[in-house]
Chains A and B, each alone.
Chain A
Amino acid sequence: MLDFLKLPVQKFQDFILLGFSAATNVFRSPHYSDDVFLQMDAIGVGSLPIVMMIGFVSGVIMAMQMARALQTYGAEGEVGKIVSVALVRELGPLLTALLVAGRNSSGIASEIGSMRVTEQIDAMRALGTDPIQKLVTPRLIATAFVLPLLTVIADFIGLIGGFLIARYLLDIPTSQYWTSAWQILEYNDLAQGLIKPFVFAIIIAMVGCFYGLRTTGGTQGVGKATTTAVVVADIWIFVFTALIGRIFLYFA
């Protein structure tokens, strides 16, 4: 009766198993640290310009749009608070993760997928290397390390964007903007702003690797794996941003 559920459940189980072995490999030798740094470079440095841009743009937009609403209450001086809370809690982590998913879930899936269809993954196993240890774990470590950093940078650049609007369009004093932006943040917000990217990083890396490793059907299959990886990663990111936000509201 529940036959239609069998495939997705099986797939989810495979995904969890992959995640589990990738995570346990973190503590097992051999460690391919070269690959970790290579991936950090690809994911971190490669994504930096676009992440900074989107952070800046979202800070600017938020300050501009919110100013109008705040002006009706004569409260445009509070714009720093709104930009800061929205960015640090929600938008910074979410937008950064979506961007990095678009760039790197797809990149990881296509790279591992083409290795799969050219039998390089089989060759690794035949020649004494565990592909999970060599390919998945370094990508997991690198993303988990780099995404929180990128998010902090995006948050900060976004605050600067908001500041430029506040200072030069709304004539709010510099110190007022930064004080209100900083003071509104609670420990809770900062925790949320760092836990989210960490979780998203796991999603981005694992989904990319998962679909890459499952690629079948030649080069066409690689294309399919790539797009599927991005869509699935994005969906999980939305689910978890809501979930984590909800949990923090509950404890706040």
Chain B
Amino acid sequence: MSPKPAVLRLEDVSLFFGDTAGLDHVNFELRAGETRVLFGEAGAGKTTLLKVALGLLKPDSGKVYLFGQDIGGMTEQELFDVRARVGILFQEGGLFDSLTIAENVAYPLLNQRVLLAEAAANGGTQRPVEERVQEALNFVELGQTLEKVPSELSGGMRRRVGIARAVVTGPALLLYDSPTAGLDPITANTIIALLLKEREIRNTATVMVTHRYLDGHLMANFRYNPSSGKMERASRGQSEAATVKFCVMKNGLLLFEGTEAELQAAQDPYVRKFLRHGSS
């Protein structure tokens, strides 16, 4: 079996903010269909890694490849076209608070140049924007909130809108920055269920940043059952463990990368810290 093409690759990437390390010589590779769970204490550089991957931050050194293209020398206009194939959920939400929920979810469809061009080229075959927005919001079980504005929703609901906006374009890479942070355990689990559901349907390459070990454990061992609508333990044959890997960051360094079993066997006390963390 030949390896799948790399969706995202960071080669020896460094980015310093003054003296603090955002990323310190990080190497990272994600292939189609794979999932990375990214742990690390506050300020470890997790958000920085995602933003560098999207070209929102420019690294001081090293190379970033998105879908095989070196994004280092690209202009912002060229970057827009590459980013159109990436869905991202921001840690702080990043929902436009002057727009309604429906407008927020429709935003990438109406503003990404390549997506507009695709829609125009496909002519009538492309489904209308409203339908895709409705579908994405139904997916996160918020089909009733189209005309509300973000400030009218709860934290968990806003997170779900963010997920809807990330998946509405059918991206080839999904970046989730702390999707469960600040949520109660039950709401957090429903968010993870949504991520599993997305993976069940489209199997998109995914990077998920989190503080909760449970999030990673669920990603690695559970699947979404479309008929019952619930998470269930994946049976051995269809276990996701092979494609789900764990990374641990500290002070901009990528300290650890491996499977869940390898993570459980790790000796480094910093790495082990993330095994026990109930929630945070």
Contacts and interface: CB of A to CB of B under 8 A. Distances in A.
A200 B108 CA distance: 36
A118 interface: yes
A128 B91 contact: no
Interface in B74-89: 76, 79-80, 83-84, 86, 88
Contact of B76 (A119, A125, A127): A125
Contact of B88 (A117, A118, A126, A129): A126
Contact of A129 (B93, B94, B111): B111
Contact of B51 (A120, A122, A130): A122
A125 B56 contact: yes
Interface string B214-256: 0000000000000000000000000000000000000000000
Given A117-B92, A120-B96, A120-B97, A127 B111 contact: yes
Contacts of A130: 76
A127 B94 CA distance: 11
Contacts of B95: 118, 120, 123
Contacts of B51: 122
B248 to A, nearest CB: 24
Size category of the A interface is 10 to 19
Nearest to A122: B56
B107 A127 contact: yes
- DSSP majority for the B interface? mixed
A126 B82 CA distance: 10
Interface in B111-166: 111-113, 115, 165
Interface of B: 51, 54, 56, 76, 79-80, 83-84, 86, 88, 90-97, 107-108, 111-113, 115, 165
Contact of A126 (B86, B92, B93): B86
A126 B173 CA distance: 13
B93 A127 contact: no
Nearest to A130: B76
B90 A127 contact: no
Nearest to B115: A128
Contacts of B54: 126
Contacts of B88: 123, 126
Given A122-B90, A127-B112, A128-B112, 11 more contacts: A118-B92, A118-B94, A119-B91, A123-B90, A123-B95, A126-B90, A127-B111, A128-B83, A128-B84, A128-B113, A128-B115
Most buried by B among A125, A128, A129: A128
Nearest to B177: A119
Most buried by B among A118, A125, A127, A130: A127
Nearest to A218: B92
A24 to B, nearest CB: 13
A123 B50 CA distance: 12
Contacts of A122: 51, 56, 90, 94
Contacts of A125: 56, 76, 79-80, 83
Contacts of B97: 118, 120
Contacts of B90: 119, 122-123, 126
Given A127-B111, A128-B111, A130-B76, A120 B94 contact: yes
